[in-house]
Amino acid sequence: MSLPKDSREAFSRTLEIETRWRRIREVHRQTTLRNATARVGSPSILIFDCQNSESLPGSLVIDPESSCDDTVSRAFTTTRSMVDFCFIVFGLNSIDNAGMTVISSVHYSRAYCNAFWDGRQMTYGDGDGVVLLGFARSNDFIGHELAHGVTQYVCGLEYTGEPGALNESVSDVLGSVFRQWQARQTPLEADWMIGSDLMGPIAIANGWNCVRNLADPQSPNSLTKQPKKYSEYIPGGDVHDNSGIPNHAFYLAATSLSACSWEIMGKVWYSALKASSATTNFKEFAVLTIEAAIRQYPDVHEIAQVVKGAWTHVEVL
């Protein structure tokens, strides 16, 4: 498919910037101090406007909730909802479990086709407008990126190899569960797609309906075609690609139960994350999820069996 010249330039610039923020995030991951305190009030949420510059954080928006800028108001309300989700479902006091102020910058750069957590704050691009729309439009993408912050403070998973793919997968899982929680959907009602709200007219015209798909990582309608079984793992592949394997394991486990994904399976995955180290691989994480299921639900053997069956299906066990 031939993209417009402006879109090609936008994606090229996006890739250049990504290498920069990945290095910054790694520095913050290595220097993160892990601590926990009791929740006292609600963590502050601040929104800054980069006004299409690449200077972070940008200008502070005084009243983001009532802003006439839809990107600003969406970033604020969805971030607040994600913070509430983390507290209600996992008992987390903000992203770091210590009440940290959550900072987000919107309108970053020009036609920037991504959003990212850099180890300290969130940043959202506006997309190129034809393939990808503004990234603050997508609640699961906001949840995904903020979940990188959760992972950073919980266990500091590395961002390379299997730990890196797990890092990305945990973000997809929590982003999807967050979207389901907001909509009060059961696993069978959910679409299990990441970034469906980001698709621009060219993406739609080409049949793309999401960035990734947990139900079918190899879906031709997804921008990212991923492995769904360990025999398809790509050695040296990008972490976004190989995350399809643990993504699909979570989907299989969650849809095997009648309970909403945030009620049981999301808690099992989060418990396994807490027990992980920076270098935890797929098999180690799978074992941790089974152990978490047994520990949290000792009288409901079906849950651990379902978890084991999901990992076996994707050939990790």
Q: Map out the domains of the chain as residue ranges.
A: 5-154, 161-313
Give the integer Cα–Cα distance in Å for 256 and 263.
Answer: 13
Q: Does CATH number 3.40.50.300 belong to domain 5-154? A: no
pLDDT in tens, the chain (317 residues): 566 666 666 656 666 666 554 554 454 454 443 444 444 567 899 999 999 999 999 999 999 999 999 999 999 999 999 999 999 999 999 999 999 999 999 999 999 999 999 999 999 999 999 999 999 999 999 999 999 999 999 999 999 999 999 999 999 999 999 999 999 999 999 999 999 999 999 999 999 999 999 999 999 999 999 999 999 999 999 999 999 999 999 999 999 999 999 999 999 999 999 999 999 999 999 999 999 999 999 999 999 999 999 999 999 99
Could you tell me which CATH number the domain at 161-313 has?
A: 1.10.390.10
151-155, Cβ contacts within 8 angstroms, sequence gap of 24 or more: 151/273, 152/25, 152/28, 152/29, 152/32, 152/117, 152/119, 153/32, 153/34, 153/95, 153/96, 153/97, 154/34, 154/97, 154/273, 154/274, 154/276, 155/273, 155/274, 155/275, 155/276, 155/277, 155/278, 155/280
Instruction: Tell me how many degrees the CA angle 268-272-276 measures, rounded to the nearest 5.
Output: 170
Its pTM stands at: 0.88
Catalytic residues: 145, 240
